[in-house]
Amino acid sequence: MADHMQSADLCAATGLIDRCHLGDCRRLMEYLPASSVDAVVTDPPYGDTSLAWDKRCEGWIPAMSRVLKPSASVWVFGSMRFIATLFEAMEDAGFRYAQDIVWEKQNGTGFHADRFRRVHEHAVQFYRGAWAELFKDPQKTNDARAKVIRRKQRPAHTGQIDRGHYVSEDGGPRLMRSVLEVANEHGRALHPTQKPLGIVMPLIAYSVPPGGIVLDPFLGSGTTGIAAEMLGRHWIGFESDPACIRMQEERKRQGRTDLEAA
């Protein structure tokens, strides 16, 4: 039986799987079996806003490290200013930088008139174990448009103008670009830093095997859990704010609507 199926069975048997647990993730992670989780996809508190919950959470990295499998990915969302502060703790826990993606939003928040208009966020992938053995499913798109290719060397004029170019319709599949244009949740978000499903789903699909477990220690309105369910992955979430549990129920309904509209 595949390794990830055994972990999922164990977590299911102990009632840990496919649900959010209310409380401080550092304490709650102690209840998870060691080496049981395939990947983490999370959006931790950044400690740089005035929001009540936005306090830096020291100590979540070693706690997370214990429950992850020896070969595993960790995706962390945030600004570069926030993510840069994680590198040392991630290295201490045995993780290396792998790659990053840019989430391009249609608009941003907190504009400063004396800077570039900020409309993006990063998600950085760390990993441990041998890269070759790490689960990865490169994501593909089929959205390349048919295009007219001009030949560099035009043939001598034959009266057939079409001989100088051709239409390429091999629009895909191609590797998904590292800059993902996904509309943010402005106007309908329940959580102030709610992530859209469209930015979280490719990361889970890439890093968590079907039937495997993704952990989000800072689940907020539940994005990672909804995305995991849609992709046929198991999930475990932690969240310290009781108000978020109510948001998760509402968000789950929104998530279904998003999928139907896609």
Ligand X SMILES: C[S@@+](CC[C@H](N)C(=O)[O-])C[C@H]1O[C@@H](n2cnc3c(N)ncnc32)[C@H](O)[C@@H]1O
Using CB under 6 A as the criterion, which residues of the chain lie in contact with ligand X when the complex forms?
24-26, 43, 45, 53, 57, 191, 193-195, 217-218, 220-221, 223, 238-241, 244
Smaller CB separation from ligand X, 45 or 209: 45
Q: Are 174 and 195 in contact (CB under 8 A)?
A: no
Smaller CB separation from ligand X, 95 or 238: 238
Rounded-to-integer distance, Cα 54 and Cα 64, Å: 19
In sequence order, what are the residues at sequence separation of 6 or more whose Cβ sits closer than 8 angstroms to the Cβ of residue 52?
Answer: none
In sequence order, what are the residues at sequence separation of 6 or more whose Cβ sits closer than 8 angstroms to the Cβ of residue 109?
Answer: 186
Smaller CB separation from ligand X, 212 or 222: 222
Smaller CB separation from ligand X, 202 or 220: 220
CB of residue 223 vs ligand X: minimum separation in angstroms? 4
Q: Are 55 and 88 in contact (CB under 8 A)?
A: no
CB of residue 175 vs ligand X: minimum separation in angstroms? 25
CB of residue 187 vs ligand X: minimum separation in angstroms? 15
Residue 130: how many CA atoms within 13 Å on its side-chain side?
2
Query: Residue 138: is the preceding peptide bond cis (ω within 30°)?
Result: no
CB of residue 196 vs ligand X: minimum separation in angstroms? 8
**Minimal CB distance to ligand X: which residue?**
220
